[in-house]
Amino acid sequence: MAGEDASAGEARVAVEAVFREERGLLLASLVRRFGDLDLAEEVTSEAIEAALRHWPAEGVPARPGAWLLTTARRRAVDRLRRDQAYAARLAVLSADAERADPAPAADAQGPGELPDERLQLFFTCTHPALAAEDRTALTLRCLAGLTTPEVARAFLVPTATMAQRIVRAKKKIREARIPFRVPGPDELPQRLPGVLQVVYSVFTEGYAASSGPRLQRLDLAEEAIRLARILHRLLPAERESAGLLALLLLVHARRDARTGPEGEPVLLEDQDRGCWDRPMIEEGRALVVRALTGGPAGPYGVQAAIAALHDEAADVAATDWPQIVALYDVLRTLTPSPVVEVNRAVAVAMRDGPGAGLALLDALAGEPRLRAYPPYAVARGDLLSRLGRDGEAADAYRAALELAGTEPERAALRRKLGE
């Protein structure tokens, strides 16, 4: 941003951030009414523009949400009057939508006075017929209320690339007619994991890059938590939506302790636990209870329970490792993967000693997915080092060094190697 526009631009960004929550609510409500994402997005932006123009001069209206919705609806109706062909197409769309989904979905109230109709938009934006990267981008844009340049910055791609991606995804929604609807109770178990996965991947994206160049980077982890909160509010009875929110809170609570002054990663065992966010941990623990009560646990609930056990412990020695191993035993049946096996092996090493853990890790040596997974080599190195097999430990660290993606990770490994 150049010269004299900079402070005006910053003020504008600040004001737009205030509208982030409203934007998603407004958009969902308009999509529900008009059945068209493009139209809804355009008039949402126009209504917010109008608010930015009018409110500073005339004062904020008594019911800002209703003001925005009324303004946006008027704009949409104007648009449809001007463009008859468009209107005719939309009429067909909404007639079909009524036929397919006659029940109103607005049952939960949003933070303002607008009814919260975001759940259907969640299911549309995360539809499995869309490419995985497009689902994340659309969710950030439509539900988190981020602008396209903000989404682009978050993923470190040029704005034009991100704009293209979003246009392509919206074209598919429109032309393949991906519906705006909440799946019925019989479909929900199949569809909900896909929605949760998108929010989780927003979080891990934010996390993985938090040691990278963060200067301009929007905090994706915070956005993911905001999205998880919305989902939990919309689906309070779903244990896995509680589990996901719990997991994100319990991991994010350690954010200030997980990197050192140079941005290097600090292992759990070396973290200053006094820096952990206690209120966030308490909130997460309460959610874990809900996630694990009333039926078989899901993968997010189990991972949250593991995170809670770490967060509750005064230090590594006081951690309840037998319980953590037991939870990994559950997790490996729910979502079997070599990564879960690596984590379980590390927990076994803490419970039964490094030799036991190393035997489990060595049994995974043939896994193709672990060949490019630095934490596997690091874990082997750490256990070998604890067993006093320093030469082999150094080999493992060197293998990890070749795989490590970011400079702070490489620096941490060089320290282990004493280089």
- Applying CB under 8 A, which residues contact other proteins? 85, 96-97, 99-100, 127, 129, 175-179, 181, 183
DSSP category for residue 158: -
Query: Shortest distance, CB of residue 72 to other proteins, whole angstroms?
Result: 24
* Minimum CB distance to other proteins smaller for 179 or for 338: 179
Q: What contacts 414, CB < 8 A, 6 or more positions away?
A: 401
Rounded distance, CA 195 to CA 177, Å?
A: 19
Query: Shortest distance, CB of residue 131 to other proteins, whole angstroms?
Result: 15
Q: With contact defined as beta carbons under 8 Å apart, do 408 and 262 qualify?
A: yes
* Minimum CB distance to other proteins smaller for 177 or for 214: 177
Q: With contact defined as beta carbons under 8 Å apart, do 87 and 80 qualify?
A: yes
Rounded distance, CA 280 to CA 367, Å?
A: 36
Contacts 24+ apart (CB under 8 A), 43-50: 43/72, 43/73, 43/75, 43/76, 43/79, 44/72, 46/71, 46/72, 46/75, 47/71, 47/72, 47/75, 48/16, 48/19, 48/22, 48/23
Query: Shortest distance, CB of residue 181 to other proteins, whole angstroms?
Result: 7
Tokens 């991947």, residue?
A: 201
Query: Shortest distance, CB of residue 197 to other proteins, whole angstroms?
Result: 18
Query: Shortest distance, CB of residue 188 to other proteins, whole angstroms?
Result: 13
Query: Shortest distance, CB of residue 85 to other proteins, whole angstroms?
Result: 8
The structure tokens listed for 262 are 């140079």
* Minimum CB distance to other proteins smaller for 195 or for 253: 195
The sign one gets for the Cα dihedral 391, 393, 394, 395 is positive
Q: How big is the CA angle at 42 (ends 41 and 46), to the nearest 5 degrees? A: 115
Phi, psi of 268 (to 5 degrees): -50, -45
Query: Shortest distance, CB of residue 127 to other proteins, whole angstroms?
Result: 8
Rounded distance, CA 243 to CA 291, Å?
A: 5
* Minimum CB distance to other proteins smaller for 185 or for 295: 185
Question: Which residue in 274, 211, 288 sits closest to 244, CA to CA?
Answer: 288
* Minimum CB distance to other proteins smaller for 100 or for 131: 100
Question: Which residue in 305, 299, 306, 376 sits closest to 336, CA to CA?
Answer: 299
* Minimum CB distance to other proteins smaller for 57 or for 85: 85
Query: Shortest distance, CB of residue 31 to other proteins, whole angstroms?
Result: 14
Query: Shortest distance, CB of residue 177 to other proteins, whole angstroms?
Result: 5
